[in-house]
Amino acid sequence: MKLEVSLDAGPVAPGGQVSGSVRVLDGGEVRELTAQLVYAEETADYTGAMLRVRSAPLATGQLTTGQAVPFSLTLPADALPNQTGASGQVVWKAIAHADIAHGIDANAGAPLELTLPPVS
Amino acid sequence: MEVANPKYPHLPPHREPGEQSQARRGTGGIGAWLCAAVGVFFLGCGVYVYSARNSEAWAGKSIWGIEVFLAACGVVMLALAYWIRARRKPLIASHFAIEVDRQELRRGESVAVTLAIHDASKVTGTLQVGLIAIERYDQEVTTSTRDGAQSTQRQTFENPIYEQWTPADASLPSQPFRIDIPADKYCSYEGECFSLAWRIDAREVREHRRDPHSHVPVWVTP
């Protein structure tokens, strides 16, 4: 299964709505499809996340190729900006996750732009 | 008054640590423990040899050289363990200290800082007051043994990513400063593998010696 995340609007303010859709590039059967906003940490060797805003299941069962599943999530009112250091970064992403019963789960993500200017 | 979380000195009191801080993946910790263990082993051997010096097996033999060698190795290894641990910690100044009017700040705000010099006669270097942002990041470190075996460890490193220093007058017992938190720089963050921390720091820059510091952590929000 292959997914792609696209976001509707431009920069989002803390506390604002993030809406978009998960496009199914290669269909299949899923236990559930969810979307989440993640404040994602990345260093050269590790990834992590302390803040996640999860959606309710967007879809279950068969997803067909070409199908677009809309989602809408609220960015926390106290959201921090996207921040890049010299050896790592922590940035907001919208991530779609397909839980597949007998196979490898599928993920796709898109970077989220905030009205708070990014820091580096 | 408490100015830092007692367990996590990079955080103000009442600020909770993230997973990275709680994991305390130090750098050099294993080396220090290994050196200490080897030092204790050498000293133990020295004590054993000393206690056995009158036994039949060694009767009539001079073994003081062995005792001295083992004791010296033990002391050197313990000193090395102490040095490894000490170099990871900042040297805390006893003759000066800083105070801030608050520790929770928004970007763009300023904080009133007071540098108090308790004993000016001990100031031998140049005093500075500054604002520092530190990034803490996890990295894989691979070590190899002589026989080619490799082991990988997760360690946390830190790195200043913003610093701004102002000279201070060592002759004044108390000196006020106003430090601006940049409006376009980092916010404090405690994460799993990447964190950002701010502190107000006073340091005495000395040549060929470690610089004593006094610092107060601050928490910066958007």
CA B30 distance to own-chain centroid = 15
Measure CB to CB from residue B159 to each of A41, A81, A86 and give the nearest one. A86
ipTM here: 0.90
Selected for mutation to probe chain A from B136, B142, B194 (highest A CB count within 10 Å) is B194
Cα separation, A72 vs A22, whole angstroms: 11
Cα separation, A43 vs A37, whole angstroms: 19
- Which chain B residues are Cβ-neighbours of A49 within 8 angstroms? 191-192
- Look at residue A4 and tell me whether its pLDDT is greater than 90: yes
What is the least distance, in Å, from the CA of A56 to any CA of chain B?
25
Cα separation, B197 vs B190, whole angstroms: 8
Instruction: For the beta carbon of residue B29, count every other beta carbon within 10 angstroms.
Output: 15
Selected for mutation to probe chain B from A80, A82, A92 (highest B CB count within 10 Å) is A80
Cα separation, A111 vs A37, whole angstroms: 10
Give the chain B residue nearest A86 (alpha carbons): B161
Residues of chain B falling short of pLDDT 50:
none
Contact B215, B11 (CB under 8 A): no
Does the beta carbon of A84 lie under 8 angstroms from any beta carbon of chain B? no
8-state DSSP, B106? E
pLDDT digits (tens, 9 = 90+) for B97-142: 999 999 999 999 999 999 999 998 998 999 999 999 999 999 998 8
pLDDT digits (tens, 9 = 90+) for A28-72: 999 999 999 999 999 999 999 989 999 999 999 999 999 999 999
Nearest CA to B11 out of B127, B103, B78 is that of: B103
The pTM (predicted TM-score) of the whole model is 0.81
Nearest CA to A59 out of A92, A96, A17, A93 is that of: A96
Say yes or no for a CB contact (<8 Å) between A46 and B159.
no
Cα separation, A116 vs B184, whole angstroms: 9
Q: Which domains does chain A have, with CATH numbers?
A: 2-111 (2.60.40.640)
- Look at residue A101 and tell me whether its pLDDT is greater than 90: no
- Identify the pLDDT of residue B158: 93
- Which chain A residues are Cβ-neighbours of B221 within 8 angstroms? 78
A16 backbone dihedrals φ, ψ, rounded to 5°:
-90, 170
- Identify the pLDDT of residue B1: 65
Measure CB to CB from residue B192 to each of A50, A78, A87 and give the nearest one. A50
- Which chain A residues are Cβ-neighbours of B154 within 8 angstroms? 45-46
What is B91-221's CATH topology?
Answer: Immunoglobulin-like (2.60.40)
Q: What stretch of H or E contains A35?
A: strand A28-43
Find the length of chain B.
Answer: 222
Letter string b/e over residues A80-105, b meaning 16 or more CB atoms within 10 A of that residue's CB: bbbbbbebbbbbbbbbbbbebeeeee
8-state DSSP, B216? E
- Which chain B residues are Cβ-neighbours of A117 within 8 angstroms? 184
Does the beta carbon of A78 lie under 8 angstroms from any beta carbon of chain B? yes
Where do the H-state alpha helices sit in chain A?
Answer: none
- Identify the pLDDT of residue A9: 79
Q: Domain map of chain B by residue range?
A: 30-88, 91-221
Does the beta carbon of B78 lie under 8 angstroms from any beta carbon of chain A? no
Cα separation, B134 vs B195, whole angstroms: 8
pLDDT digits (tens, 9 = 90+) for A8-35: 978 999 999 999 999 999 999 999 999 9
Strands B104-106 and B212-221: parallel
